[in-house]
Amino acid sequence: MLLSPSSTIANTSAGTNPTSPPDSSYSNLTHRRNSTVLNPRSYVTPELWTQAPILKGTTKFEPLTDTRNIMVTGGAGFIACWFVRHLTLTYPNDYNVVSFDKLDYCATLNNTRMLEKCSNFAFEHGDITSPNDVKRCLRKHKIDTIFHFAAQSHVDLSFGNSYQFTNTNVYGTHVLLERARAHGIKRFIHISTDEVYGDVPDNADDLSETSLLAPTNPYSASKAAAEMMVNAYRKSFKLPVITVRSNNVYGPHQFPEKIIPKFVLLLQRQSKLLVHGDGTPTRRYLYAGDIVDALDTILHKGVIGQIYNIASKDEISNIDICHKLLGMFGLLHSTPKAFNKWVEHTEDRPFNDHRYATDGTKLAVLGWQQRTSFDDGIRTTVDWYRRFGEVWWGDISRILTPFPVVEGNEIWTKEEHEALPSDNELGVEENNTVWTKKALNNLQASGGTV
Ligand SMILES: NC(=O)c1ccc[n+]([C@@H]2O[C@H](COP(=O)([O-])OP(=O)(O)OC[C@H]3O[C@@H](n4cnc5c(N)ncnc54)[C@H](O)[C@@H]3O)[C@@H](O)[C@H]2O)c1
């Protein structure tokens, strides 16, 4: 049976060392089955979620009278799972919350399992790029409000598999908007990013919501394009939209492809931190609990048709994140020699914005302010990952390698992916193992059997 390489690989064994040689008794043959497929529905460890703290925001407002059923796209992912927990638990008698998620490689139902007994919570498996899935959910739950988080969110991956970013982030947003319009939604809150503004020079002023959009990578370009579509629906169809542009967010529940959880888990494994380029780019970081409070504020006090930056005061370089984490793990880092024992520089991204800088005055007027300092937030985050990081999603070994490759739900190391058969060298599946045609021919010519 002939299969394309990407559809055949299914090695999910926990604890696999991604860099170990392929398991083959024939040294001249290439085994093509290495990859990880995480299962977002899996508990991974029984009762795991019952041991984790239930994390949410701190705000509570007078409930809106015209809002009852809220659909949250991407609800099994990082930021949205915080928001789903917050809304469900803070407004149990006021809002019904529907988490709508396709359960991509980075999602896990562990993020919302603690809500399964709540009568105002439901999970709907669905894809925002499917008009039928979206329509079904809107009708079934009589949705009046949409918070749209679902996205391909990892900049690094957008340099390799950018079609997926356009498909999910632009087309998926378009589908949601169109369905929301046809359904007659009352509020559509679109979650965008500070990256749509592009790079901001060191001494430049912080950017307000009226600044030009100038994205520089396929991820940020897809988010900016999605915003254009949101704005078009606002103008053309009077869709009641609010757009939100947040700085980087960190905290428990973030998939460990992103820098902070990845570095925490590497240090826990006593492995070196792999820093892109010279590590001088900075980002402003906001604790997940704080963005949830900001979104709660925008839901209850935000003005339809407006754009709000959610801005943090904490601007930190990648190198400073290394110093901070090494200190927290009790590892020497003050001299270059001690630091370099734990930090290795890899090639940089094809393009790496030096910094983003946004002004949050408009949201402050609505009453929101950042509550969690980076020092406090990072402490909570490190504690959580030390307890749950290795077991929350399944085997994350390949994600912790320098440039993992993700296709659909499959994850490879860069080297493994480069060794896969090309499209014109299709794999041959025999006895649950995928061989290149050449390798199988060699094996059979030498009298071996699979
Ligand atoms: N993480 C950050 O630092 C940050 C900063 C600013 C803005 N944002 C934005 O916030 C949103 C959430 O980011 P995150 O980091 O929590 O993302 P994430 O990658 O952790 O989660 C994304 C979720 O969307 C789901 N999803 C992906 N494609 C889907 C589809 N076609 N249909 C339905 N569900 C789908 C995934 O399964 C996953 O659960 C994104 O829109 C992102 O652009 C993130």
**DSSP symbols for 316-357:** EEHHHHHHHHHHHTT---SSHHHHHHHEEEEPPPSS------
Which 8-state DSSP code applies to residue 394? S
Give yes or no for residue 72 CB within 6 A of ligand 1.
no
Q: Is residue 392 part of a domain?
A: no
Q: Are residues 52 and 187 in the same domain?
A: yes
Catalytic residue among 104, 195, 290, 353: 195
Q: Are residues 201 and 146 in the same domain?
A: yes
Q: How far apart are CA 245 and CA 220, in angstroms?
A: 11
Q: Are residues 87 and 14 in the same domain?
A: no
Q: Are residues 26 and 76 in the same domain?
A: no
Q: Are residues 99 and 22 in the same domain?
A: no
Q: Are residues 31 and 94 in the same domain?
A: no
* Burial class of residue 122 in the structure, from the number of CB atoms within 10 Å of its CB (0-12 exposed, 13-18 middle, 19+ buried): buried
Q: What is the pLDDT of residues 258-305, one digit of tens each?
A: 999 999 999 999 999 999 999 999 999 999 999 999 999 999 999 999
CA of 150 to the centre of ligand 1 (A): 4
**Could you give phi then psi for residue 85, rounded to 5 degrees?**
-60, -40
Catalytic residue among 95, 219, 287, 356: 219
Question: From the first residue on, what is the mean pLDDT of each consecutive set of 10 residues in the chain (450 residues)?
Answer: 27 32 36 78 88 97 98 98 98 98 97 96 98 98 98 93 95 98 98 97 94 96 98 98 98 98 98 93 97 98 98 96 97 95 88 90 98 98 97 96 90 91 61 57 57
Instruction: Answer for the pair 133, 127: CB distance below 8 angstroms, yes or no.
Output: yes
Q: Are residues 28 and 136 in the same domain?
A: no
What pLDDT, on the 0 to 100 scale, is given for residue 4?
A: 29
For the entire predicted model, the pTM comes to 0.89
Instruction: Answer for the pair 162, 168: CB distance below 8 angstroms, yes or no.
Output: no
Q: Are residues 414 and 304 in the same domain?
A: no
Q: Are residues 130 and 237 in the same domain?
A: yes
**How many other β-carbons are positioned within 10 Å of the β-carbon of residue 435?**
25
User: What residue numbers bound the domain in which 239 lies?
Assistant: 48-253+284-316+354-374
Q: How far apart are CA 357 and CA 363, in angstroms?
A: 15
CATH number at residue 187: 3.40.50.720
Which residue's alpha carbon is nearest to atom 19 within ligand 1? 153
Q: Is residue 346 part of a domain?
A: no
Give yes or no for residue 106 CB within 6 A of ligand 1.
yes
Q: How far apart are CA 240 and CA 418, in angstroms?
A: 46
What pLDDT, on the 0 to 100 scale, is given for residue 229?
A: 98
